[in-house]
Every structure is written in C-alpha cells, then in structure tokens.
A and B are shown apart, each in its own frame.
Chain A
Amino acid sequence: MVRSVVFLLVAVSIAGHFIGCDGGKDRVIPVADFFSEPEQSDFRISPNGKYIAYLGSYEGQKNIYIIHVDEGRRHQRITSETELGVQSCFWANDDELIFTKDKRNDSLQVFAVNRSTLGVRHLMLPSTVKLRWISPSKVINHGFLISLNERDSSVFDVYRLRTDACQKELVARNPGNIIKWYADLDGELRLAIASDSLKETMLYRHSEKEPFRAVVSNNFRNSIMPLGFSGENRSYIFALSNINRDKLALVEFDMETGKEVRTIYSHPDVDIDHGGYSIDRGEMSYASYFTWKQQRHFLNKHTEQVYHKIRQKLKGYELNILDRDTARTRFIVRSYTDKDPGAIYYYDMATDELTKLADNNPALNNRLLAEMKPVTYPSRDGRQIHGYLTMPPKPKGKKPPVIVYPHSGPSDRNRWGFDPEVQFFANRGFAVFQVNYRGSTGYGKEFWAAGAKEWGGKIQEDITDGVRWLIKKGRIDSARIGIYGAGFGGYSALHGACFHSDLYACAASYSGFINLFTILKEVPPHLKPYLQMYYETVGNPETEPELIKSMSPVFHSDQITIPVFIAQGGRDSWSTVNETNQFVQKLKKRKIPITYILREEERRYFRNEENRILLYTELGKFFDKHLK
C-alpha cells in the first residue's frame, strides 16, 4: 500500500516536471538568445549578380564566404584568417573583394582577395590610422576612395587607393574643418561638408582638378544632408533639407548656383529619411520616412515592382533591400517585424524565386514575442508626443509592471521594429514604454529645437507626462514602474530617481550621464563654436552653473530613495569613473540598494559579448527583484 502511494507521488511529480518544462518554453528566454550576434552577416551581391559574399565563422574568426548563385548555391570559403577576423568587405568588381581585418594595436590593414584564385593582396600596409569609407565603395579605374587621419589624428584626408599599384595617392587635403566627403558617380571627389559645428558649409567643385569653393552655409539648427550626385545633371545632388521648412524634405539641389531646384517629396508630419539613393545610377528610387513605422514613397516603377513582388512572398513583414546587382534583377533583402528579428533573403526577379540565406536571430524563432504598438499622448503644454508601448505576452499579475525606456541622444528617436532590449524585458513580463520626447529627431526642427536647454526640464516632463498618461489609461500597475535607459536615457533614469522617487520603483542607468559639467568639458576650450553649440543645447556652465547643477544627478544623490542600477564603462569620456564611484558610494552609505557594474576596459557601450550578457543578466535580475 505504502509502496504504491510512493510510486504514485513520484509519478505525479515527474509528470508535473515535464508539464512545467513545456509551459516554460515560452516564458523566460535566456539572455544570450537576445543579445548574441548572428553567425552570418554582411551579405553582399557581386555586380554581375552571380556571387553572394558574406562573413561567416571559421575557427572562431569571421571569414569571407561566397555563395555561387548559379552553381547550385554552393558555399565556398575564400579566406582563412585564424588570428584576426575579417571586419568588413565589399565587392571591388566581379572577381575581387576588398576587406579589412579586426584591428590589433589600432593597426589598420586593407586587403584584396580574388574569389577564384583565393590570392590575398595587401593594398595598404599596416599603420595606426582610422579609416572612413567614401561612397561609392567600388573600384573605378583601378582605384577607390578612402579617408584616413594619417597626417593629423583629428582630421581625415582623402586618398585614392590604387588596386593595381597597391599605393595610395592624396586626393584632397583636409584644412581641418571638413567632416564629410562625397564622390560622384565616376568616383571623383567633388563635394565636401565643412563644419565649425555652429555653421555647416557645403563645398563643391566641378572636377577634381579645380579647387573646392564654398557654395552654401547654414546654421546648425538647419540641416542639408547630401545623399549623392544626380546621374542626369553633373552639378545636381539629391539632399535632405529643412532650410525654409520645418520637416526634412527630399530635394534636388544645384551645387553650381547653391539653389534648391525642386522638392521631390515631403511629408507634413515627419522628416524624410536617408535611403532610396542608388549610387551606381545616380537616381532616387524612393523617399523613405518614418511615421509610426517605416514608409516608402516610390519614385521608380521598377523598384516599386520589386518591393511589391517580394512583399507578396513575405506577407506581414517589413522589407529592406540591402544590396542588388547592377542589372537590378537579383537582390538581397532583409525582413523584420516588431515580433520577429527576421531573416536575410536572396531574390531573383527573373525566376521570381525567394531564398532564405540566414536568420537574423535563429534562437528566437518560434518564440512568443511581444507586439510593439504606437501611442500618442499630449504633454502638459499641449504637444503631441509619440511613443511605443509593448505589452508583455505573459504579464506578471493582472496589470503588468512597466519599464519606461527613454532613448539615448537626445537627438535620436525610437522606431517601430524588432528591438532585442524591448523584447528581452517583455519576455520577462514587463511592459515597455518608449517615448519620443521633444528634442527627438524625425519630427521636424522645431520639435527638435524645443529640447534645447531642457535636458532636465521639459524633456523629463514629457517622459513623466507619458508615464502619468499611461497610469491613467489603467493598463499597467502604477506601483511597479521602473525606468531604464542608456546614455541620455540613463541620465533620464537617474533624473527620475532623483526627482520622481514617488513615480518610479527603481531606476537603471547604462552609461548614463551623471554630471552634465563633465559632458560640457568634453569639448576642448579652443573649439569655441562647438562649445557654443553645446552651451545652446545643454546650458552654459559659466553663466548658468546653477542650471547645470540642478540638472546633474551627481549633486542630488541625497534625494534618491529607490533602488538604483548603474553600469559604467571605464573608458567612457562622458562620465568619469571617479564621479560614478563617488555617486555609488554615497548611495551605499545611505543604504540605498544598488547594483553597480563597472567594466574598466569598456567604453560607453559594452562591446564584449560576455560583458553585454552579464549586463543584461544583472539588469533582468534587478527589475525582477524590484518590480516583483
């Protein structure tokens, strides 16, 4: 009798265990699944469309692989780097790929590899410089353009790297103020942007033989951002401009006269985004803009058709064409939704065939992820503020706890799409609330400028207004609200901890600014115009130190009464470790529960995967503990 009862109990407990496992499958997904990097990346199609190159892993390092599209999709590894992996690569022509390797001792090297002979050539000998690519990244007349800070570490000169002679020749010398260079369709360097930060000037020349001349200048509050030269008219460029308007519009601009020729497309509510320019033909295929999600206004029938055809095959997914052949028949496409990290596909227009190349995050396939919904609420002074609310698929309790997640910047915005951090929180039962507070980009220059000198003021009010609006809607638990952010978002979290301890139950800052004096010190004093810009966006520490003091969390640690989480990289130049240490010690002395992760070797954002996973594991624990 006793034996049978014991047997029954054991059987029940084992069964319960199995059921528990089944139910847990979708409950808590391991941290690493959200934040690990994909195995295969950087898919690029060759100009003739016959080969697809990508970076894959070989002996623990990234190496270049090729898919032979017309030969049964055969995969072939063409490099064998085992010490330092390949960092980036692109097709020089149909036969050669140019690539750089991971840096060792900040030493940069550029190589070329032939896809058939597998021979690797040194294009540039190792030197301790930084490289910035200049589009078009393709070889024209046995040469391509790069910019290097070889002569002076703070300025980038332009060189043409010759693939036949393996030599570089100086194309343009930077007088010190040029921040960006543009080449035309033939690879000639003909456009540059000079900045003293308060004022941006566009420089132009008709051919490489002539000197640059200033064409048009504008204040830092306005912007004109070149996309590239037009294929039709030698002096015309496509650009995004908000001169004489509030929202960035796609315009055609004549560099000869310095006049806007026409407005190609504009949207009444939001800025037009980058994207849609094809460098090989010098034309705009569409104008892209972000309302609550990405939208396209097609300017080219063929492109519209391509998108339409692929969309037929990937219903419900958002699409981005990453690369194409010159004939526009073969494409590399990325898909995504808010609940799906998506995949990379190869699409052949001739056969109307779509092939999956790789999942962006296979670990999250078939997992129950959360839907990201756009929300709009009025601020206390009547502005419409846009944001996103992600409700957890399996909430903790009747009303879920919420993590307020202000974006970094503040000159940035949240976008609808797959966000691993948001999904990470949602998976752990938290709702996530994101706000495009004033000062965010994408909603026009007036909205952006409204954030100036309001870092600790109206920007924070917008965030708290959002939280109060959310409480009023009654869908979340008002007693369990946490705030988390990185950079400016981290600053907002600490600000919330100092001044809204009543609203938030806990606050987490990832490399958040804790002292605005320190940030203002970032600019060397001889760069007066830069300082001026900083002073206008943040505040002037010389004339209004009280304002800066009142906004800096480091001075207000005594007002914090809620648990705090701080992650800090030792080499972050925007907050010094000393200050963060002192801040943490003060909180510790007052017996405020605090989690402090300091990684000496990291900069503002943790690069090392191990450190990142540790960060998110601790972050998850922190919110689990304090938003129970």
Chain B
Amino acid sequence: MTHRRNTYRVNYLLVSAFIVVVIASFVLAAFLARDLTVTYVENEFASRKVEVLEYNIGPFNDFFHNRIPEISFYQGYLDSTGVSVYADSIFHAYPFVERVVFYDVSLSNERVDYGFSANDLVVYPKGVYQFSAGANGADLLPLVPKSGHLPLSLSDDFNNMAAKFAAFIERVDTTRALQDDDIFKVFYAVTPGKICYMNIPRRDDLKAYKELMYGRNSHEVVYEQDILTYFIDPQKLSLINIIPELYQRVQIQPLVYESIDTDPDLLTTETPLPGALADYKIYFSSSRTFLQSEINRRFLPVMAGVIAIYLLLAVIAYLIYRNLYVNERMFKLQYDFINNLTHEFKTPVSVIKIAGNNIRSAKQLSDPERVHYGRILDEEADKLNNLMNTLLSFTQIENKSIKIKREEVDLHEFCDKVLKASQFKYGDLTLRCKVDVKRTLYIDPVLLGSIFQNLIDNAYKYSKPANKVLDITLTQNKKQIVMRFADKGIGIAKKELMHIFKKFYRVQNQYNQQGSVGLGLAFCKELVNFMGGAISVESELGKGTIFTIVFPLD
C-alpha cells in the first residue's frame, strides 16, 4: 500500500458519500423549511391580532387620551352650550360615542338639601344635560326636575364621582403635585360601556376645597366643576382587517361569545378590547385551507433560497473536482514523460554499451566492423544530443529566455532547403511543397525550420509505410501567410484533438512506442505563438491530418 501514498488517488467512496450527504441534507432542509413556515404562520395567526387591535382602537385611544382630558382645560367653566358644541364634535369624529351626559357641578359650603356632602363640603349638580349622537344641540333636555332629585340611573354615576372626589380631597397632600395614578383613580371612572370624567382642578383649588370641607373658609362660596359621562357602544367601532392574508374574518363580539361552528379546520383566536370597551372582544377566524395558501406563499421564497444555496454548493463541488482532475492529468503527463524520457535515453545508451562491449571483446576489428560500430556510436550519440537539445530549447522557450533572430526569409528558398534535407532523411516520404507567396517573411529561420522539421517528423511517424505523403502549401492573402501541412496518415481522434498541443501529451498508439516524449507539437505551438502566429489542426481518423499555421505579414 505504501507506494499508493505517492501516487494519485481517487476515492469513489468519498465522492459518493459526499453526494449522499448533500442530497440528504437538502431533503432535510426542505422538510424543515416547510415545517418552520407552517409553525410561523400559525404563530402569526395567534400573535398578530395585537396589530389589528392597536389599529382599530386608535380612534378610541385618541378620544380617550386627547378629547376627554380637554374638559379640564375649561377649569369648570363649561356650560350646556359649551358642552353642546364639544359633544357635537365628539359625535362627529367618534361614532362609537352614543351619548354624553353633562353634570354642571357646584362645590359649596352652603346648605343644599340635595347632592353629596362630606363635612361642610356639598357637591351637587346645578344642572344635568344629555346629548345624543342623533339629536342636534337643540334637543338637549335638562334632566333635573325642580325637586332636585336625580333619576337613579344618573345619580349613580354622579354619586360615585362625588364620593371618590370627596375622599380624595380628604387625603390629598396639596403641597405636592398631582400624581398620574391619582388622576386616573379619582377623575376617571371607566366601566364597560361608560366613561366618567371630572375636570382636574388646580392644586390651589384642591387646597380651597379642603378648606371648604373642614369649614376653614368663613365666606359662602361656590366653586364649579364639570363631570361628563360618555356612553360607548363598541359595536360601532369601525373595524378594519389590516392583515387580510392571515385573518379570513374579523368581528366584534360580546366577551362571552363562543363560535358554534364545529368545523375542525376552523382556526380562531380573540383579543379583548380595553377599558370602556371591555365587554366586547375582537374575534378572528380563518379556515385551514385559507392559511394553507398563505403558508405556500411564504414557503416558496424560502425553498427558492434553499435551492439556490445547494446549487451554489454543487457549482463549488464541480469546480473543486475539475481542479483536482486537471492536477491529476498534469501528474500523469509528467509521470509518463519521465517514463518515456528514461526509455528514450535507455535505447541509445544500451546500443552504445553493446557496441562498446563488442569493440572491447573483439580481438580484431575488420574495417567494415569498425565502420559499422563507429556509425552506430555516432548515430546514437546524435540521438541523445537531439533529445537533449529538444528538451533544452523547450525549457528556454517556455521561460521566454530564447532570443528571436528575425531576418527576411524568402520562403521559396527556405522550402527548397527543407525539401532537400527531408528527402535525404526520409527516403520513403513523398513530400510535395507548393509555394504561392510573393513576399518574404520577416521571421527567425532557425525556429521556423524547427517547426517544419517537427511537423514533417510527425507526418512521417504517423503514416502507414505504404502511404507516407505530406503536402505543404504556402499561400498568401492580404495580411497573412498561411502554411498548410496535410498528410494522409492515421489521423487523430476528435476527443484527442484538443489535447495534442499540450506538454507531455501523447496519443496512445503503436506508432510512438519509441522515441517520443510528447513535446513536439507543444514545442511547435510555443514557437508559433512566440513569433506572433497561430497554429490549428483538423483531422479525420484514418484519412489524415492537416495542420495550419498562420503568420501575420506585419
């Protein structure tokens, strides 16, 4: 196993485990998202009723916090005409106020035979007036009969306020400012359907009332206070469903109301109304199918988000995989290269070694034998030299440490030379060269020769012995010189075409079992690019390959 540590590893188990985990977690996420959305919507159904409540009791709060305390500003000076104007504006703005009863109250130390008395202080209504929403100001009716006795329904409110107020005067500390809780306890009486309010006197007035109560004021005096009772009908509160997507129906119902609907799919919730509206509640209901559509509406974007995240994950996984794949290829190519290189070096070295052995062991060398061995040694040494030159120049060109020695090259002349050299080298190669170029090319002839040599070598190598043919055509158009190398060799498979210009890449076949390191075409491409040209290839398996090199003229 040790050797595997240093080789390239592929673990399919790991990959498949990864895929399984990803898919499982995706399913889980989708499931959880769905579940959470359902819970969320159901929670919202229960909790967002507060918003509906807040919104709908806004006018009531405004009425309660602003319009009622306004009475205090009049400091007890209100009379029935004043209240009439005030009441009209209230009825107009707040339809839930049904009627207003106004007690024009006097506080005095005189003897009065009706009213509420505490020690020397008598609190009694000078007049009681009622204003209704439907009636105009003209319809107001004084309710106090001459006898001075109030009907029980009205005296109840009055006595309640008067008693509270008298008790307050008894205990109030007039050196301190009025506290907010005192204000609410004493000057308001809030019961379902009804709000009583008495104007809040100044601190000095409270002092005066206290003196009245304990008989410390010898003068006969009358102070004025105002008490107003507002009758509220919560049913007339305008109700607007501000969250229609959650609540199918919103109603104001009496506090004791329970739905008799037995449908198990009907969800309901309720919230009681505050203060004077407290005998009613807001009742919310929605069917499950109604909520389902809301759930779906919310689940969709969540799911889209989950999918997007997993797509991103997949893309990242693919990129990592691709990166690893490329590295693996590089690894393999270099491994092959070293293998090939060793092999390439080995053949000439062993031939040299055999020749050397033979020469050493032979007692006598005949002339033909000496020539034979000399030629072998010379050839093999050339092979080694070539191999090393190729490697060296390739490294140089990759590092851009090579220098281009450009000169004007007459392509006719150049081709003739190449042709002659090749015919000498490959006797069985039918090499045809057709040059249709009028101009010279400004290029490094040595490097160009190297390119030609490589391509001719390849054409020779990858052609069947019976059909070793190469057509070189040089043409010129306006701006460039096109060089076409067409052979009738074995061709290259489509899927390999894109790799053939890569370093150390070799097409696996019988023709390159020896003497090839996979650098030839890579070297050509580097050279062509280095000199500003471009190289391309087209090929058909079994029919031949065409390499096209294009050099710009300028």
Contacts and interface: CB of A to CB of B under 8 A. Distances in A.
Nearest to A598: B177
Given A542-B77, A548-B77, A576-B202, A582 B208 contact: no
A545 B79 contact: yes
A48 interface: no
A559 B65 CA distance: 18
B69 interface: yes
A521 interface: yes
B203 A573 contact: yes
A541 B75 contact: yes
A600 B76 CA distance: 25
Nearest to B78: A545
B178 A521 contact: no
A582 B69 contact: yes
Contacts of A542: 77, 79
Given A576-B203, A578-B200, A518 B75 contact: yes
Contacts of A577: 177-178
Interface in B176-223: 177-178, 183, 200-205, 208, 217, 219-223
Given A525-B221, A578-B183, A520 B200 contact: no
A555 B76 CA distance: 15
B74 interface: yes
A336 B78 CA distance: 51
B427 interface: no
Contact of A545 (B69, B82, B177): B82
Contact of A518 (B65, B177, B202): B202
Interface string A519-563: 011101110000000000000011001101100101100000000
B205 A526 contact: no
A545 B76 contact: no
A515 interface: yes
Given A526-B220, A526-B221, A578-B183, A521 B73 contact: no
Interface of A is mostly: helix
Most chain A beta-carbon neighbours within 10 Å: one of B72, B183, B221: B72
B236 to A, nearest CB: 24
A318 B515 CA distance: 123
A540 to B, nearest CB: 9
A189 B109 CA distance: 38
Interface residues of B, number: 29
B101 to A, nearest CB: 20
B183 A573 contact: no
Interface in A542-596: 542, 545-546, 548-549, 552, 554-555, 570-571, 573, 576-579, 582, 585-586
A425 interface: no
Contacts of B221: 524-526
Contacts of B205: 521
A517 B73 contact: yes
B77 A545 contact: yes
Interface string A97-140: 00000000000000000000000000000000000000000000
Contacts of A585: 65
A591 to B, nearest CB: 15
A521 B76 contact: yes
B153 interface: no
A549 B82 CA distance: 10
A524 B208 contact: yes
A132 B123 CA distance: 38
A541 B74 CA distance: 9
A56 B72 CA distance: 48
B61 to A, nearest CB: 11
B399 interface: no
A525 B222 contact: yes
B223 A525 contact: yes
B66 interface: yes
The B contact surface, by secondary structure, is loop
Nearest to B74: A517
A554 B75 CA distance: 12
Contacts of A515: 73, 75
Given A525-B221, A573-B204, A579 B73 contact: yes
A515 B77 CA distance: 12
Interface string B218-252: 01111100000000000000000000000000000
A573 B203 CA distance: 7
Nearest to B175: A571
Nearest to B69: A582
A9 B76 CA distance: 71
Contact of A541 (B77, B183, B217): B77
Contacts of B219: 526
Contacts of A579: 72-73
Interface string B78-94: 11001000000000000
Nearest to B220: A526
Nearest to A541: B77
A554 B72 CA distance: 11
Contacts of A520: 75, 77
Nearest to B208: A524
A604 to B, nearest CB: 13
Nearest to A576: B202
Contacts of B217: 526
Contacts of A600: 177
Given A554-B73, A555-B73, A521 B177 contact: no
Nearest to B217: A526
Nearest to B204: A573
Nearest to A517: B75
Contacts of B76: 521
B66 A545 contact: no
Chain A CB count within 10 A is highest, among B65, B74, B201, for B74
Contact of B73 (A522, A552, A571): A552
A359 B217 CA distance: 50
Interface in B59-117: 65-66, 69-70, 72-79, 82
Contact of B75 (A521, A571, A573, A582): A521
A586 to B, nearest CB: 6
A174 B432 CA distance: 149
Contacts of A546: 82
Contacts of B69: 582
B116 to A, nearest CB: 20
B388 to A, nearest CB: 55
B72 A578 contact: yes
Interface in A248-282: none
A572 B82 CA distance: 28
A521 B200 CA distance: 12
Contacts of B66: 586
A545 B204 CA distance: 21
A546 B178 CA distance: 28
Nearest to A542: B77
B78 to A, nearest CB: 7
A86 B301 CA distance: 80
B120 to A, nearest CB: 14
Nearest to B202: A576
B365 to A, nearest CB: 83
B165 to A, nearest CB: 16
Contacts of B77: 517, 520, 541-542, 545, 548
Contacts of B72: 578-579, 582
Interface in B501-517: none
A546 B79 CA distance: 11
A545 B223 contact: no
B1 to A, nearest CB: 63
7 contacts: A517-B73, A524-B221, A573-B202, A578-B178, A578-B200, A579-B72, A582-B72
| 5 A-B pairs with least C-beta separation | A526-B219, A517-B75, A541-B77, A526-B221, A521-B75
Interface of B: 65-66, 69-70, 72-79, 82, 177-178, 183, 200-205, 208, 217, 219-223
Interface of A: 515, 517-518, 520-522, 524-526, 541-542, 545-546, 548-549, 552, 554-555, 570-571, 573, 576-579, 582, 585-586, 600
Given A541-B74, A555-B73, A573-B204, 4 more contacts: A522-B202, A525-B222, A541-B75, A548-B77
